[in-house]
Amino acid sequence: MPRWEAGAEGRLARAAYELYFERGFDDVTVAEIAARAGLTKRTFFRHFADKREVLFSGSAAFQENVVAAVISAPDGVAPIDAVVAALEAEGTALTELGEGARQRQRLIEASLELQEREMIKMADLTTAISDGLERRGVLEATASFTAQAGVAVFKTAFERWVDRKGSVEFAPLVHEALDELRAAIRSNDADTPPGSAKLLRS
């Protein structure tokens, strides 16, 4: 199970996860979450906008940490390497939650509503990374392409981690996905946006 802080927010998150794992996301109400936590619906809505946000409450911090790492990467680091290193670090922290992180992802995969919310979060992350690259002086078009590529690498690695069992290191899966992307770019340079092949081979 994920780790929770003490206090109302942590109690609500724990209760929500317990109920989601027991019955599935779609069959749980906010009232039931609050009751399981021994709190009120009003208290729930002071901490979460809706029951979906319990599963995505760490997204803002994840995004902030990734963007900060991209912006602060040493001079001379290729944009794609800065992005992948940042996502690898935050992804490693996420996967250290172990089976709880896998269970959370399976909840998302089982609900169209949650899949839609995850797509929005990933789109927001991609935009934020692109903005961070622009702050490093990367051209807008290149920053956008690189952010999309980096997030695709992260998603591929995370999906593979979820499909594995037991303790699996996340970093090798990231490098595996990045190598596959670079190989695809090398084999199809003519179809890539100007400058992208060079970025991914750096």
Tally of CB atoms within 10 A around 165: 7
* DSSP codes of every residue in 60-118: HHHHHHHHHHHHHSPTT--HHHHHHHHHHHHHHHHHTTTHHHHHHHHHHHT-HHHHHHH
Is the pLDDT score of 26 beyond 60? yes
Instruction: From 151, 164, 149, select the one nearest 202 (Cα to Cα).
Output: 149
Q: Fold identical between 8-48 and 59-201?
A: no
Tens digits of per-residue pLDDT, 87-123? 999 999 999 988 889 989 999 999 999 999 999 999 9
Q: Which CATH number fits domain 8-48: 1.10.10.60, 3.90.1150.10, 3.40.640.10, 3.10.20.30?
A: 1.10.10.60
Structural class in CATH, domain 59-201: mainly alpha
Is the pLDDT score of 200 beyond 60? no
Question: What predicted TM-score, i.e. pTM, was given to this entire model?
Answer: 0.84
Domain extent listing, the chain: 8-48, 59-201
Is the pLDDT score of 85 beyond 90? yes
Tens digits of per-residue pLDDT, 154-190? 999 999 999 998 889 999 999 999 999 999 888 766 5
